[in-house]
Amino acid sequence: MFTHIMNDNIWGDSMNYQETYRQSIEDPEGFWGNAAAEIDWIEPWQKVLDDTNPPFFRWFSGGVLNTCYNAVDRHVERGRGEQTALIYDSPVTNQQRRYSYRQLQSEVARLAGVLRSLGVEKGERVLIYMPMIPEAVMAMLACARIGAVHSVVFGGFAANELATRIDDAQPRVVLTASCGIEVARVIEYKPLLDRALEIASFEPQHTVIYQRPQHQAALIPGRDFDWVTLCEGASDADCVPIAATDPLYILYTSGTTGLPKGVVRDNGGHAVAMLWSMRHVYGVQPGETYWAASDIGWVVGHSYIVYAPLLNGNTTILYEGKPVGTPDPGAFWRVIAEHEVSVMFTAPTAFRAIKKEDPQGNYLQHYSLPKFRALFLAGERCDPDTLQWAKTLLRVPVIDHWWQTETAWAIAANCLGIEPLPVKLGSPSCAVPGYAIEVLDENGVAAKDGEIGSIMIKLPMPPGCLPTLWNDDDRFVSSYLARHPGYYLSGDAGYRDEDGYIWVMSRIDDIINVAGHRLSTGAIEEVIAAHPDVAECAVIGAADALKGELPVGLMVVKFGVDRNLDEIAQEVVALVRERIGPVCAFKKVVVVARLPKTRSGKILRGTMKKIADGTPYNLPATIDDPGILEEIASALRTIGYAQA
């Protein structure tokens, strides 16, 4: 049923970045048609790029494939059946499990059969609300196997937020587990799910619960089913043909209206982009071990824990733990050493946490990392100090790259699989092939080199990027395409330098106006982070009656620093004044024990700004620890902000 349409070898060793990028922009159909040769298709596409209905561009229209087959079954058929596909490493439960491609195929086929037995058909939705356990990965692949559209919601997400996603996706079945584990704390999922189902207007027909030994959930007869029992009685399901333009998954991201936006990912363009990026952005070859230290609830987990590594025939790691505290700041080094990781991808906040707890890198001395050759960082702006610290410690290239939930893969990166470029600390390097990046001012005019503006992507975006929002084409246009017609609005502000390097400084909303001067909070943060005693920091624009806004800094000092905190604050103010100038009027900075973050590690700058201004705010659904907000308010009050 599955055929390999073309056999052109596009993975040559002598690739030039400029030439590769030029081809991708000048001849996108030829470029991506050639890349699609590495995917097995049931039926060939009729058109590589369908531009008949702009701005709704579609890739590989008319083509038919199956993502699960490409990620699992074909590797078994081609002799990789005994290679390890998935390693589950859980320091919070003190266990590890390994699944070969053949074992993964068997587990996924059986779970797909369970979904079929519950009436799930091609195109119907399945909501996955699970912790970082192998069954979560199997659930995603099982949906892809039968053409169901999965929507993964971060395990332990609040009931109200879960309910909104149930109402929007309208899943026939919910797959969940009895609990998740946060370090030493057990989080019961079933009460959260039950409450969400009470709140939601839409009612899924069934829920399937994987009972973990740490907690046994009570099941409601007739609605709830035991995962293991269903699998024992199910028949295997085969891969079904899926149109390239049919949705693979929905992933919800926060929206400005308070209602989440359901980012849609198609099957064909996604598979092509994921496989291409593994070899060209990350430089990873089939058979190697790749580790994305993230969560499957986020886009990084979708792209680089599950789909991309498996499409490329890699061994991928599912890690149920933290960078510190499970049990110590050497946790990442242990995983890399034990599983012989070649390339790792995580968020800068993870390395800031390690640096804070072990600034000298002493824990690394206990491990040998002979196969480890590159670290990639993304998910938030990476301060140069953290990048340089990691590079000095690990003695391998540390690559900052930039992308978003909406794109599914890198927009700007130093592509190790093409031609590594000179590193400029603070920049994620140049545009990845396929992305035509422009920096525009408020009037839609191209900004000069070095001039901050809105970072935009000229349409059409490459394969893998969102074609629309779930059941909401109008919101897709208004949210991303209306600001400057013909361009995708990234929401990030920055500039391009004379060498073509992209500098992502902050979100557009984080550009502050100080007495008529537009300043990037990211640029100020970069200076603060360069202070030797600072572990991490955030800068917000607080309201000021005279100047409109004033920058306010919040910083966390490194573990073991016992100097006078007021002296450190004064040094930081002087440093910012020296490097950016008095125009930014930076005078207020306060030391805090920690910064409020989402579960994915992003700092909640918008929430802190509202606290500083004394304006109402909603408790962010993704916040890691709500109690921290009062700590922030208390700290801001000491410097004259956060007044009711």
Q: What is the domain range of residue 626?
A: 515-637
- CB atoms under 10 Å from CB of 78, counted, come to 12
Q: Is 605 within the bounds of a domain? A: yes
Q: Is 502 within the bounds of a domain? A: no
| pLDDT at residue number 255 | 58
* CB proximity list for 114: less than 8 A, separation 6 or greater: 142, 208, 230, 231, 234
Q: Is 579 within the bounds of a domain? A: yes
| pLDDT at residue number 519 | 75
| pLDDT at residue number 183 | 84
Short-list 502, 643, 92, 571, CA closest to 318: 92
Q: Is 325 within the bounds of a domain? A: no
Distance of CA 482 to the CA centre of its chain: 25
| pLDDT at residue number 69 | 98
Q: What is the CATH number of the domain that holds 623?
A: 3.30.300.30
Short-list 573, 556, 551, 574, CA closest to 641: 551
- CB atoms under 10 Å from CB of 117, counted, come to 15
Count: domains in the chain: 1
- Classified as helix, coil or strand, 84 is strand
Short-list 403, 402, 553, 414, CA closest to 464: 403
> How far apart, in whole angstroms, are the C-alpha atoms of residue 370 and residue 604?
37
Cα dihedral sign, 215-597-570-633: negative
* CB proximity list for 371: less than 8 A, separation 6 or greater: 289, 340, 341, 342
Q: Is 599 within the bounds of a domain? A: yes
Residues of the chain with pLDDT under 50: 1-14
Q: Is 588 within the bounds of a domain? A: yes
Q: Is 317 within the bounds of a domain? A: no
Q: Is 595 within the bounds of a domain? A: yes
Report the predicted TM-score, pTM, of the whole model to 2 decimal places.
0.85
